[in-house]
Amino acid sequence: MPLQEHHSEKLIEVTRGPLTESVHAGHLAVVDTAGTLIASAGSPGYYTYARSAAKLLQAIPLVESGGAERLGLTEAETALCCASHGGEPRHTETARSLLAKAGCDESALCCGPQEPMFAPAADMLKAGGQPATALHNNCSGKHAGMLALAQIMGVSIHQYTDPGHPVQQKMLAAVADMCGVPQSGITLGIDGCGVPVFGMPISALALAYARLGSPAGLPEQRAEACRRIVDSIRHQPYYVAGTARFDTALVEATGGRIIGKFGAEGVYAASIPELGLGLALKIEDGAERAIYPAAAEALLQLGALRPEEAEKLAAFRRPPVYNRRGDTVGEIRPVFTLTRH
């Protein structure tokens, strides 16, 4: 594992009245499709796990193999393969449909049960006396996609989460190739849903997202897979996240000009196809509340996010801090300026 020699930069302040009560430091990298560093904050080579920001890359082998066409996957189902969804009814129904097309049912999922991330969906389950299931797991779409890939490859669906399984090896190869990192340079851990997670410099994750949105230089089969994944999210943004979620709101606010993906422990990645750029960031303390203000501010500073679009995303870019009565008592605000290279 690479040594963590780095300097972080203060990205976000949390205020209460006239005082800054908390700060969140981190790292950010913006690169083009050649891997050239365009802008940064902190250390662009900071090494960390991509977490769920890797999901769009993990979907590539299924689409690239022709699996999406052979199984007749809809754009909603393809987007769900990339999702950290809220466990809303349309999400679980789509996961069930995707599993059926893979010749499986819910019992094949190895992601474990999870209460829906969308609180009203969780409340609805509780009101009905129903337990949360693996379908409600925010990663159920990714796991269903892995089962679909196993069927397309003609390999066992059992132990598909094991790092040595052909499905996981195929995904590791795709992630490494898109990120421009040798497989030996990627550190593997185990994600919250039980599958391998990939450690890399954030600049490498940014490169993968630049290539994802502007894949003209990739082999045609890979390029077409990237286009299909991006288009699925552009056309069906609800399925990559859900109600009141930044990933969905970003696509809706920009008309699909920008797509992005949240990752646990303070990770975010975005693709800006019209500029041929990819962005990746890591909040060093892992705080989710700092992710979206940092991502939206970076996109605005890059000129990728137009002022009117930033206004639509204001609740994410500078969210208020409320007290128990619902009074606004402070805000979460970005305080960094990107360094141009």
pLDDT per residue of the chain (341 residues) written in tens, 0 to 9: 565 568 999 999 999 999 999 999 999 999 999 999 999 999 999 999 999 999 999 999 999 999 999 999 999 999 999 999 999 999 999 999 999 999 999 999 999 999 999 999 999 999 999 999 999 999 999 999 999 999 999 999 999 999 999 999 999 999 999 999 999 999 999 999 999 999 999 999 999 999 999 999 999 999 999 999 999 999 999 999 999 999 999 999 999 999 999 999 999 999 999 999 999 999 999 999 999 999 999 999 999 999 999 999 999 999 999 999 999 999 999 999 999 99
262 by DSSP, 3-state: which?
strand
Token output for 186: 């990627």
Q: How far apart are CA 193 and CA 87, in angstroms?
A: 14
Domain boundaries, the chain: 9-340
Token output for 2: 């690479």
Q: What pLDDT sits at residue 271? A: 98
DSSP for 26-39, written as a single string: EEEEEEETT--EEE
- pLDDT tens by residue, 218-249: 999 999 999 999 999 999 999 999 999 999 99
Q: How far apart are CA 119 and CA 111, in angstroms?
A: 20
Q: What pLDDT sits at residue 122? A: 97
The alpha-helical segments, DSSP class H, found in 180-313 are 202-213, 220-235, 246-254, 291-301, 307-312
Q: What pLDDT sits at residue 6? A: 84
DSSP for 104-143, written as a single string: --GGG--S-----SSHHHHHHHHHTTPPP-GGGSTTHHHH
Q: What pLDDT sits at residue 4? A: 59
Instruction: For the domain made up of 9-340, give the CATH fold.
Output: Beta-lactamase (3.40.710)
Please state the pTM of the whole predicted model.
0.97
